[in-house]
Amino acid sequence: MSLLAVRGLRVSFAGGRVPALLGVDLTVRHGQTVAVVGESGSGKTTLARTVLGLLPSSARVLGGSVEFGGRNLLALGERGMRAVRGRSISLVPQDPTAALNPVVPVGAQVAEVLRVHGLASRRDARRRAVELLEVAGFPDAGVRARQYPHELSGGMRQRVLIAAALAGRPDLIVADEPTSALDPTVQRQVLDHLTELTRSSGTALVLITHDLGIAAERAEHVVVMADGEVVEEGPPARVLDAPDHPRTRRLVADAPSLNSTRLNSTLLGPSSAIGETLLDVQGLTKVFTSSRFGAARKRITAVADVAFTVARGETLALVGESGAGKSTVARLLVRLEDATAGRILFDGADLAALRGEELRRFRRRVQLVFQDPFTCLDPRYTAFDLIAEPLRAFGLDASPARVHELAEQVALPVGLLSRRPGELSGGQCQRVAIARAVAPGPDLLVCDEPASSLDISVQAQVLRLLVDLQASLGLSLVFISHDLAVVRQVADRVAVLQAGRIVETGPADQVLTAPDHPHTRALLSAVPHLPRREPA
Amino acid sequence: MRRAGFVLRRLASAVPVLVAVLTLSFVMMQLVPGDPVQTMLSGAGPAPTPEQEQALRHQLGLDRPLHEQYFGFLADAVRGDFGRSVQTGEPVVSAISAVAPASAELALFALVLSLVFGVGIAVLGRVATGPLRSLCHGVPVVFMSTPGYWVALVLIEVFSFRLTWFPATGDAGFGALVLPAVTLALPAIGVIAQVLGTSLAAVDAEAFVVTARAKGAGRWRVLLRHALRNASIPTITLVGTTVGNLLAAAVIAETVFARPGLGRLTLQAITNHDIPVLQGVVALLGVLYVVVNLLVDLCYVLVDPRVTADRIRD
């Protein structure tokens, strides 16, 4: 008998005008792990929210049923669902930073489940919370329980949320992209914990993810969603290795993988000649000093003795876990930050020595693309103004014709130029950001996780765009990412950062297939794999 | 430990603020048009002789060089001596301390009313449904936009003259406190309810609220345990400035309701060019602002554990 049986579920937003689910079926047996995969907008999160009875108020359930343990959850109402949530079905949410209350100690947030459902007295709940944190992988759980979320790392926070999800001994856990905000190595640890704990307690798991590698590695059954419908389902080996449906095939094709090769420009064929050295970094070191009045000064070495070169037309990828110093290097390269020691030579000139007009010319030749396209664009500007702004700032031709030309270069429909960032999708915003970056005609683009916040297929499009722009404009790229599968697709050479130092550097083919350093090997082995795949 | 250090640092930083307040009040009084000695002697009676003027000038220390006057003023102020009222000859400190309790009573009661009803309306506006919800959303704007003197007159008309529940004037007992306190509190209630309501709505959209609901927590638990504390920081800042506004608005309330208090004392001092009294009041307000701001900062620390955390970019 099945534990959860969703039948013909139809949900829509905005009073029925925006359909989200168009008759979805989903079956989960006791103790089974089912992965639901799909792009964002495919309806997988809406499905999870409906099962938990946590749809936003703008959503309406139009039809279908959600049978759980023989009861129709849709007929229970808010009061009835409150008894189910946390006790019979619990949630592991997506972003561990936003999903924990910042002003409550984590132990109390785990204990809350027990208190809400009357499973333990105040004192017992506190003790049980420490035990649960221990099981979730905190050796020093007693101390951790009294700490606040900001005192824990991202991976630890997600383990707190897993402990809270397990606290009520539920029959089913719904994990909504539980690790998409985490580094590959941390992701692996957290997923290991989650799958181990659900297996040992016989809890069923619905794993919602856009990462096909995770689905392939962790699930017994894979459900592929697209546009509010289930388009294909079955065992992962079958679905992901020999997909039937075109949408599944596209997902599999777009998924970055370590087995793929570097993308080549669709315009100019294999990468054009790599020229002389453009950027030469020597002994780069950055030490941050906390300057809190009256407190002991702390010195944190973010970047230590880093050296690399980037040639014209070449892509160097900087990879590493978060906190490895990647973003600090990016900020030093574009001189948003001054180095404590070492030199950065750009086209032969020492960055630290640039002043006035020379510095302005340098700023024009080096541009930065940020991770989150929403937060780096002024929400009150239209796309047109956003692209025209750097042109005006450098006194270049900012005519509508030039802005349209740039929009076409980044494949942004000209009709969207009158919209503001809030009215554009993530991929479209990132195209605007890239158009801004290439507008002043730079020689070097520093891209800080430019595709990490995007969907797989959008990510693939943005990566292709960067490769095409590089070929047609002869750009050099410094590409920062924690995602080695993405790096595989764009990098000529790779430098691996660990705790501010470069531990390995070399051609991408060599570093990503035959790594020397144990840290590189650890990073590589943490990347979830799809079952065997032909190189794209 | 960290909290103790935080308090000490904030207390230390209050010293230069207070010196700045005293300096400003000294400078302002120098810039005020008109000669205090002329004003003081310009009452009824025969025109003062130059000797009389000279004597008064000497008595007030106004014939000394400016920097001596300034340091003398600072030294006296530190000892709590602001001289005597030009008008009554009473020491400034005793003139202020005679009316301060009445003002403190009024401001405190008004503050309690603002907090209870402001927070109450904001919370009710999140939980209630139907007409009560609309009422909770509409009332704050009405409260904020009604002028104090008009509210005061309406309250007197209705509650003193028609219903005779509360006295219209004076400071006899708790009953006399109610109408002026309500007059003062209404706009503050409106602002607090508005700001807290907006913050609560914003926090409601946060991911940790979904987490709490996914644990099975009910509406009230989510609101009181999770949303309220996270939403309270802007409101705490606001309450800090509200205390200052209460003192300013007290001028109107104390005049309309004929209550003795700091507001009326200040008004009289201004009309009579009573500079020592004004300097005393300004110094007192400066101390009050510093203390209130310290309390506000302490509330931040209690409400949000991240406030004292070192912020170092990774």
Express each pLDDT in B31-56 by its tens digit. Answer: 777 676 776 676 656 677 788 788 87
Say if residues B116 and B186 touch (Cβ distance below 8 Å): no
pLDDT the model gives residue B67? 85
Both tokens of residue B1? 């430990």
Query: pLDDT category, A536, cuts 50, 70, 90?
Result: very low
Note whether A497 contacts B: Cβ–Cβ < 8 A: no
Say if residues A404 and A433 touch (Cβ distance below 8 Å): no
pLDDT the model gives residue A518? 93
Render pLDDT for A368-405 as a digit per residue (tens, 0 to 9). 998 888 888 998 999 999 999 999 999 898 899 999 99
Nearest C-alpha of chain B: how many angstroms from A82? 4
Q: What is the mean pLDDT of residues A264-284?
A: 73
Say if residues A287 and B302 touch (Cβ distance below 8 Å): no
Which of B210, B221, B310 is closest, CB to CB, to A93?
Answer: B210
Residue B168 has pLDDT above 70, yes or no: yes
Query: pLDDT category, A291, cuts 50, 70, 90?
Result: low
Cβ A82–B218 below 8 Å, yes or no? yes
B309 to chain A: which residues are within 8 Å by CB? 150-151
Residue A271 has pLDDT above 60, yes or no: no
Transcribe B229-270 into DSSP letters. Answer: HHHHHHHHHHHHHHHHHHHHHHHHHHHHTT--SHHHHHHHHH
Percentage, residues of chain A above pLDDT 90 = 45
Give the length of chain A.
536
Nearest C-alpha of chain B: how many angstroms from A323? 6
Q: Best residue in B1, B129, B211 to probe A by mutation, most A CBs within 10 Å?
A: B211
Render pLDDT for A29-86 as a digit per residue (tens, 0 to 9). 999 999 999 887 788 889 999 999 998 888 889 999 999 988 999 999 888 999 999 9
Which tops the pLDDT comparison, B174 or A434?
A: A434
DSSP state of A145: T
Which tops the pLDDT comparison, B313 or A467?
A: A467
Cβ B305–A103 below 8 Å, yes or no? yes
Q: Give the chain B residue whose CA is nearest to the CA of A94.
A: B207
Considering A150-159, B186-195, B284-293, the range whose residues carry the highest mean pLDDT is B186-195
Amino acid code (one letter) for A68: F
Flag the least confident range among A142-151, A473-482, B274-283: B274-283
Which of A113, A150, A151 is closest, CB to CB, to B215?
Answer: A113
Render pLDDT for B94-148 as a digit per residue (tens, 0 to 9). 888 888 888 888 888 999 999 999 999 999 998 888 888 888 888 888 888 888 7
pLDDT the model gives residue B79? 84
pLDDT the model gives residue B312? 29
Nearest C-alpha of chain B: how many angstroms from A399? 39
Render pLDDT for A139-178 as a digit per residue (tens, 0 to 9). 888 889 999 998 888 888 988 999 999 999 999 999 998 8
Cβ B215–A112 below 8 Å, yes or no? yes
Q: Give the chain A residue whose CA is nearest to the CA of B211.
A: A99
Question: What are φ and ψ of residue B67, in 5° steps?
Answer: -65, -35
Cβ B310–A323 below 8 Å, yes or no? no
Nearest C-alpha of chain A: how many angstroms from B44? 58
pTM for the model: 0.77
Query: pLDDT category, A295, cuts 50, 70, 90?
Result: low
Note whether A99 contacts B: Cβ–Cβ < 8 A: yes
| ipTM computed for the complex | 0.76
Both tokens of residue A31? 């103790």
Q: Which of B203, A375, A483 is nearest to B213 (CA)?
A: B203
